[in-house]
Amino acid sequence: MLTKKQWEYCLEQFGEMFPDAHCELVHENAFELLVATLLSAQCTDVLVNRVTANLFQKYKTPEDYLEVDIEELQNDIRSIGLYRNKAKNIQALCALLIENFDGEVPADRDLLTTLPGVGRKTANVVVSNAFGIPALAVDTHVERVAKRLGMNRWKDSPLMVEEKIMRWTPREKWTDTHHQIIFFGRYHCKAQNPACGECPLLPLCREGKKRMKGIA
C-alpha cells in the first residue's frame, strides 16, 4: 500500500502534469452545474456539454423545467444514457428546490443529497465548484487511480476512497486535487491502455509495475 509520503509525491506530480485541471462541465451558475452533473452519471462530459448547450438556452430556472411535459424534457436529453430516469429526477428536484429552498441551490452537501438523483459525488462537485467549499468527489477516474496506485484496496467503497484521500490531502487542496486526479485518470491513467511506460508515478504504482512486468 502507498505511504502518506508517497501520496504527497503523487499530489506534486498531479499538480505538475495538470496545473490547469478544472471542471469540464460547461455551466454559468450552481443550478446549471447541478443539472449537468446529474446528467453526467455514466456519461461523458463531452456528450453532456453537447446536450446542455441547447438545454440551458431553453431552461433557465427550476420553474422552466416544470412547465413542460416529462416527454418533452426526455426528448431534449434523449441522447444521454438513462435519459428517462434523469428527466424524472430533474423535474422532481426542481419541484423540491422551489418548495424547500426558494428555487435556489443550497450550498450544503447534506441538503443537496436530499434532492432526487443527487448523491454524494454530485453534491461534492456542486459545493466545490459552484460555492468554493473544499470537497473531494470520487468518480470512476478518482477511484481507479487511487486503487491502481495502492492508495486504497480494490474492495474499498467510493466513500472509503474519498475519506482516505481527504485525510492525506490538505483541506485547501481537496478541490484542485479532485480535478487533477480526474485529468490524470481521463488523459493519462486511462481505463484502457494507461500510459504506464511514461508515468512519473510508475516506481511507486503497484498496478503499473505489474503491467510493465507483463510487457517485458
Q: How many residues does the chain have?
A: 216
Please tell me the predicted confidence (pLDDT) of residue 48.
98
Q: Which one-letter DSSP state was computed for residue 138?
A: -
Rg (CA), the chain: 19
Please tell me the predicted confidence (pLDDT) of residue 214.
74
Residue from 121, 155, 156, 210 carrying the catalytic annotation: 121
Please tell me the predicted confidence (pLDDT) of residue 60.
98
Look up residue 113 and give its three cell numbers. Answer: 443529497
Q: What is the rounded CA–CA span in Å between residue 120 and residue 112?
A: 8
pTM for the full model? 0.95
pLDDT tens for each residue of 47-83: 999 999 999 999 999 999 999 999 999 999 999 999 9
Please tell me the predicted confidence (pLDDT) of residue 215.
67
Please tell me the predicted confidence (pLDDT) of residue 19.
98
Residue from 76, 139, 164, 176 carrying the catalytic annotation: 139
pLDDT exceeds cutoff 60 at 14: yes
pLDDT tens for each residue of 86-97: 999 999 999 999
Please tell me the predicted confidence (pLDDT) of residue 216.
52
121 counts as catalytic: yes
Around 28, how many Cα atoms within 13 Å sit in the side-chain half-sphere?
A: 8
